[in-house]
Structure 1
Amino acid sequence: MSVNLSGNPQVQTAAAPSKKKPASSKRRSSSLVTLFFYTMAALFLFSMLFSLWFFLTETGSNIRFMMADTLITTQHRDWAKYLIGSDELDRRVQRYWAQFDRYSAIQDKGLVHIERKPTATPTPTGAAAVTVPVPPKQDLVEMEPISGPNFKGQLLIIHDPKKLRIAVPGKVGKGEKVSSMVQRLGAIAGVNAGGFVDPEWMGNGFQPTGLVMSGGKVFYNDGGMNTPNHMVGIDKDGRMIAGKYSPNELIKMGVQEAVTFAPKFIVNGVGQIKNQADGWGIAPRTCMAQTEDGTILFAIVDGRQPGYSIGATLFDIQKIFLEHGAVTAANMDGGSSTVLVKDNKIINKPSSEYGERYLPTAWLVFDEPEKANIKNIWEGLDPSKIDPSKW
């Protein structure tokens, strides 16, 4: 025993033996590290092989350009440059517009023949009465489900094209939901129509792009009377028109209802889009067509909803229209604007996270379209002074 300075005994204790990790724990740790490095190496190798396939092979490039085209039709157009580069993005957009102009330049051969409804003919005095058999009444509006590998939607069939009107918002300052237009104006059904100025993709839906005609009158025009626009409309005889026309030309042609959008992609019964790669990407779609007897077809396809419906290309829609006998077809505004309303119910599933969008125009179907109280909400307004971002 030793004595410390304080006088207290100092106890000598043996050092505690060190604890060694079991060999099994070391092996487990080593195995995890090895697994991690193998996993990273595999991922690196996979990324390299994927990049080579994605950028250097024909199949990969086709998918890459399809993805870029899909982005071009969304609010994230600039993201496409990460797939194809800024220069290629600009070239691709310009190429599409050049294609649209070529489609519009094809002369319509007038294949639509709308039969007039039979009317009562006065019977001459003393002549025997003639009984004319009356055909069974056909519903004005029908719906048919449509689908493909990546999409689901509805085909809205309207048997009398003269029952269609272009409707516009009821109040100055912002657009209106199609369901609201249908209810306010007493329509049977409605779909979204033309495009609109949409700053930061959060616009109020009040300012259309190009031209709007309703009831044979110009409601809105952001250019001159001789300025051509890509138009989709219906003339006084119920024939669908699609192509590049000025307001003066449309008036001379007797066009009653029209909005600006593109492209026209079926002309004289011939599809202009040759394959999926030229189908302008995968997206929600609203497209319009007409068959030889005058029947109007609207294809409304949902999209951007994995597990339900991703969307369709214009080539997909063209195929559906041709199978139903379309001789003319054109694209309408799509994406988050795509909506179908019937009997005051939204039939499809709009892709916008906020639901139905506020829009400047809609195609509405009426039993008596001449009685529809559609007023020119832009009358007296200067298009250059409209603020499309102000709610």
Structure 2
Amino acid sequence: MQSLSRARSHRRTAKRPWRWVKTLLLVTVSTFLFFSLGGLVFLFGTDTGEDLREWAAGTLLTTQHDYWAPYTFIPDDKLQALKDQIRHPEVINSEAETKPTELPATKPNVVPLPEKPKELVDIEEINVKKDNYYFKGKIMYIHDPTRVQLLVTNRKDRGDLLDEFVKKSNAIGIVNASGFSDPDGYGKGAKAYGVVIHDGKILQGYNPKSGETALGITYEGKLITGSYTAEQLVKMGVRDAMSFRPQLIVNGKNLFTDKPARSWGIQPRTAIGQKEDGTIVFVVIDGRQPGHSIGASMNDLAELLEERGIVTAMAMDGGSSSMMLHNGEAITKTSCPYYRGRYLPNAWAVI
């Protein structure tokens, strides 16, 4: 009887681990359902949740995966408004007026820089924390604007990496410039969108890609931006030019003041601008890298430049193309899986 009792006791004990497994599974599934339901209530039942869904939609619309934007389930009218803001941004010709217009009543605080720079190039670290996101990047100040040129790939099968542009030109500093055809993220950057002018010669006029805006630099080192044809730019004394969008600041006016930040989402960013004293700036904001830098909105970028006294500025291609090199070394962190960045049709460089 004793041995039989022990055997029965052993069998009952052997079943207990399975009870613990069932209990653990039940708790896990219950917890998952609880948080899933809570998340759905937050996203679809609160104003903050709706804002987050609009941010997500704006971000998706500026990527190659824009077809996912409707699945954020924001109202159709809001989704269409986001699309319109991205595809048809406000455009102002920088040469249309000789002085700033519609400036804010109070000027933003301008970040001071050395009055007498000892070097051609100065680098500023960017580290900004917002309420719900954060971003890091670099600003490169070029104190002789005539040293800034547009470099253009001479390859037919693909574009150049930034470090390949540097090797060909001995550029001191360099950032990406034009956008390009990029089906499914595998574009090779051989052909730029929009106008391309190099050393006073028109290499490419506008193509059917809508919404592109020109940014050019004259032989005297002045930035010009607006809805200009390649022929008009050459007549205006422009040496190099390319196209992208949107404009950020024109004639001292911040074009994103009072505009919803979510329209362009949060992404890695690149921009080119110029101060009133002629100093040209390259800006790159890292993104898509939790723990390092999430990315910036267009509002963030325009505000960042306005605070530093920039009077003319336009966004370049962003996303995984955004990258900056100084003296041949990457000083920003690309979101491209390849650490050297992407193949590009052209780049702005300090020669």
TM norm. shorter chain > 0.5: yes
2:347 corresponds to which of 362, 367, 370:
362
User: 277, 281, 291: which is aligned to 2:261?
Assistant: 277
**How far 1:207 sits from its partner (Å)?**
0.8
Aligned to 1:146: 126
Correspondence 1:76 to 2:61? no
Correspondence 1:108-119 to 2 at 5 A: 108-111=96-99
Q: 1:1-391, aligned counterparts within 5 Å?
A: 19-20=8-9, 33-34=22-23, 36-84=25-73, 89=79, 91-98=81-88, 100=89, 102-104=90-92, 108-111=96-99, 138-149=118-129, 150-223=134-207, 229-273=212-256, 274=258, 277-278=261-262, 280-355=264-339, 356-366=341-351
Deviation at 1:228, TM superposition (A): 8.7
Amino acid at match of 2:251: N
Q: How far apart in 2 are the matches of 1:56 and 1:254? A: 56
Distance in structure 2 (CA, Å) of the matches to 1:74 and 1:223: 20
1:109 partner letter: E
**Total equivalences in the alignment:** 326
The 1:93–1:336 alpha-carbon spacing in structure 2 relative to 1, beyond 3 Å, is same
Deviation of the 1:362 alpha carbon? 0.5
Whole-Å separation in 2 of the counterparts to 1:143 and 1:278: 29
Give SS of 1:104's match.
coil
Conservation of the 8 A alpha-carbon contact between 1:65 and 1:83: yes
In 1: Cα distance, 2:85 partner to 2:259 partner = 15
CA contact (8 A) 2:336 2:342 kept: yes
Distance of 2:195 and 2:20 partners within structure 1: 69
Tell me the CA shift for residue 182 of structure 1. 1.4
CA change 1:86–1:61 in 2 (3 A) is closer
Say if 1:211 and 1:106 are closer, same or farther in 2 by CA, change over 3 A: closer
For the residues of structure 1 that align with 2:96 and 2:123, how far apart are their CA atoms?
Answer: 28
CA separation of 1:198 and 1:159: change in aligned 2, threshold 3 A: same
Alpha-carbon spacing, 1:25–1:275, altered in 2? closer, same or farther (3 Å): farther
Change (3 A) 1:94 1:328: same
Conserved? CA contact 1:264–1:330, under 8 Å: yes
The answer to whether the Cα contact below 8 Å between 1:197 and 1:203 also exists between their aligned partners in 2 is yes
Partners of 2:303 and 2:156 lie apart in 1 by 40
1:145 and 1:93, CA in 2 relative to 1: closer, same or farther beyond 3 A? same
d(CA) in 2 for partners of 1:78, 1:331: 23
TM-score (norm 1): 0.75
Q: Summarize deviations over 1:201-220 as a string: whole Å, max 9, x none.
A: 21221111111011121112
Deviation digits for residues 174-193 of structure 1 (CA, Å, limit 9, x no counterpart): 21111111121122211111
Distance in structure 2 (CA, Å) of the matches to 1:191 and 1:254: 23
Unaligned runs of 5+ in 1: 1-14, 113-134, 367-391
- For residues 279 and 82 of structure 1, do their structure 2 counterparts lie closer, same or farther at Cα, with a shift above 3 Å needed? closer
For residue 353 of structure 1, report the CA deviation from its aligned partner: 0.5
Aligned residue for 1:385? none
Aligned residues: CA RMSD: 2.9
Give the drift of 1:236: 3.2
* Contact 1:276 1:316 (C-alpha < 8 Å) held by counterparts: no
CA distance in 2, matches of 1:93, 1:228: 12
| 8 Å contact kept, 2:87–2:211 | no
Counterpart contact for 1:229–1:246, Cα < 8 Å: no
- Taking a change above 3 Å as real, the CA distance of residues 203 and 324 of structure 1, as seen in their structure-2 partners, is same
Cα displacement (A) at 1:40 = 3.0
Structure label with greater radius of gyration: 1
Matches of 2:347 and 2:326, distance apart in 1: 13
Sequence identity (%): 36
Instruction: Give the TM-score of the pair, scaled to structure 2.
Output: 0.82
The one-letter code matched in structure 2 to 1:139 is E
